Structure 1
Amino acid sequence: MTAMKGPGIFLAQFLGDAAPFDTLENLARWASGLGYVGVQIPCNDRLIDLSLAAESTAYCDDLRGMLDGHGIAITELSTHLQGQLVAVHPAYDALFDGFAPVEVHGKPAERQAWAVEQLKLAARASANLGLSAHATFSGALAWPYVYPWPQRPAGLVEEAFAELARRWRPILDTFDAAGVDCAYEVHPGEDLHDGASWERFLTAVDHHPRARMLFDPSHFVLQQLDYLDFIDRYHDRIACFHVKDAEFNPTGRSGVYGGYEPWVDRAGRFRSLGDGQVDFSSIFSKLAQYGYTGWAVLEWECALKRAEDGAREGAPFIRDHIIHLTDHAFDDFAKSGADQTAIRKILGLPASEG
């Protein structure tokens, strides 16, 4: 029976100036050598010409053909940086300018328009590449007010999510026209950072059929959120899966908020697969139970371990956790063979008439 696909690897954290991290082909060759069969590609000009991919099936065929030659498929495209720019609170304007071309720096409205166009191009490019889902961020207008002190004015959160929905609805419609799901990574720093905020957004976009999510348990460890219950609640909206580990070790000095400490000194920090506290056996079981057939993609982020070591260890870790669904019940050997007549007799009922 159909199972989730993998192992895949997200390339964003590995892209660099030196081989094998400098081009998509070199990265594909490197990933294949480590045992990966898929790559999640950030929409970076060094890896993909997004405008051309949105218009040219021939370009997309050539791109896929090159990757196929290394035994690699595209899991999803990613516009995490561009998605962030769809909604930016003014407090973060200067920090997020670096995610956009220099010509729109210091111009929030133009930067937002550029980001929206990038998302629409990504929808069409994903369709041309034969992909079913796309990974992104929602951006944030309400995040500076996540802790209610001073008291939030009545209606502030509602208006923030109404505006977020107004900005995303045309993008979601473009994804719908392309036949591709738009999967938001539920992530602190985004207005969509937990189940409650996800529900607010989903209501605001009228439960748009293309509004989906990227599930990454590491962010829930750092928030102390039950990531297994999250799957139970929202499995029908999960379209992408980042396999990333984390740990949370609070003290009397620091907890969820981290005390402005660097990553290595925080109570909650990301770790390489198997080095943290995430119960991946239960996660893979839950996703298999609910019929998730998308990709399992390593996102490497670790406060301690070298990236290349995390990537090398990630492929076998994911491969060994993927559950290949059984095509028969474990107790089929003990079938009674009773037909409907026998069943009624077993229950002490008269034979059915006619």
Structure 2
Amino acid sequence: MLDIRGIEICNAWFSTFFANGDKEKTIEQFIEHMNFLHAMGARVIGCSEQSKSIQGTTLAVFEEKAIFSDEEWRLTAEGYNELARIAAEKGMRVTLHHHMGTGIQTTEEIDRFMAMTDEQVGLLYDTGHVYYSEGSQQKMLAVLEKYLPRIFHVHLKDVRDEVVADVRENHLSFLEGVKKGTFTVPGDGVIDFKPVFKILDDYGYKGWMVVEAEQDPALANPFEYAVKARKYIRENAGL
């Protein structure tokens, strides 16, 4: 079925719980997940540290997000180093997906994670989540430029500035923001993707760039938005 449609599986979300102390269970489930992706032809595994995550709750995403202790940081870093070693034996790469509502959301937290982990642990760079967290195109690009050698996967996600402002001002949850339309496809929000494409191209990035735009399909027709994203990327990245 995938071959008929010309579709490839490039990655799939995996939740880790190292900060909670669930290393053994996390690694056991990771190996099963990794083997499935490998069989499907994928070579990158996108992981997110979900210990203390509030992304699926009603808690305010900025004011009540997870904050890791020094010990939780140590457990997380050691766990990801182990996952990267396991994946490398299969010829695969592990990436950390920084995400709103988790303990690795801000640029400072991304920096700490990257400093504490081995070079073979990669970053899943998500334009939307960096911009959402920092409210700055400049900071979003700074993360990209700083970690280019360790960026193994990219999510192209735009945000609607007015919704992010609403979330901040009214102390809303991540889910409430999504329902209100925080995210959209490239070219439909506030982010200028042209420098993102240029930085990746100049570096010689060969990995996947995946369009994401979690929003209500009743309000944003998936096909129409997919076409809109494809047109924008073709015009601005030449792909």
TM score, norm. by length of structure 2: 0.77
**1:243 CA drift (Å):** 1.4
**Aligned partners of 1:287 and 1:312: how far apart in 2?**
22
1:222–1:247 CA contact under 8 A, matched in 2 = no
* Alignment equivalent of 2:122, drawn from 199, 212, 215: 212
**Matched letter for residue 3 of structure 2:** D
2:197 matches 1:263: no
Which residue does 1:73 correspond to in 2?
8
Q: Which of structures 1 and 2 has the bigger CA Rg? A: 1
* Superposition deviation, residue 279 in structure 1: 0.5
Q: Alignment partner of 1:297: what SS?
A: strand
Once the two structures are superposed, residues 273-304 of structure 1 have per-residue CA deviations (whole angstroms, 9 ceiling, x without a partner) of: 32201111111111111111111211121364
- Measured after TM superposition, the shift of residue 305 of structure 1 is 1.8
In structure 2, what is the equivalent of residue 64 of structure 1?
none
Contact 2:19–2:72 (CA under 8 A) maintained in structure 1:
no
For residue 178 of structure 1, give the secondary structure of its aligned residue in structure 2: coil
Aligned to 1:92: none
Which position in structure 1 is the counterpart of 2:78?
A: 166
Unaligned runs of 5+ residues in structure 1 are: 1-24, 26-66, 90-107, 325-354
SS of the residue aligned with 1:77?
coil
1:18 corresponding residue in structure 2: none
Once the two structures are TM-superposed, the CA of residue 175 in structure 1 deviates from its matched residue by: 0.8
Compute the displacement of 1:165 (Å): 2.3
Q: 1:132 aligns with which of 27, 31, 43?
A: 43
d(CA) in 2 for partners of 1:256, 1:140: 23
Matching residue of 1:295: 208
Amino acid at match of 2:131: V
Answer yes or no: is the 8 Å Cα contact 1:281–1:321 preserved in 2. yes
1:320 is the counterpart of 2:235: yes
CA distance in 2, matches of 1:270, 1:147: 16
Residues 124 and 311 of structure 1, relative CA distance in 2, 3 Å threshold = same
Q: Following TM superposition, by how much is the alpha carbon of 1:173 offset from its aligned partner in structure 2, in angstroms?
A: 1.7
Question: Is 1:274 aligned with 2:187?
Answer: yes
Quote the residue 1:22 is aligned against: none
Q: CA RMSD in A?
A: 3.3
What corresponds to 2:32 in structure 1? 121
CA contact (8 A) 1:273 1:310 kept: no
Q: What's 2:131 paired with?
A: 221
**3-state DSSP of counterpart to 2:223:** helix
Alignment match, 1:179: 91
| 1:306 maps to 2:217 | no
Find the aligned partners of 1:232 and 1:318 in 2 and give their Cα distance.
Answer: 20
Between the aligned partners of 1:264 and 1:132, the Cα distance in structure 2 is 29
Q: How far has the Cα of 1:130 moved from its partner?
A: 4.1
Any conservation in 1 of the 2:124–2:151 contact (CA below 8 Å)? yes
1:34-90: per-residue Cα shift (whole Å, max 9, x none)? Answer: xxxxxxxxxxxxxxxxxxxxxxxxxxxxxxxxx22322233x22134xx14x2476x
Q: How many residues align structurally?
A: 225
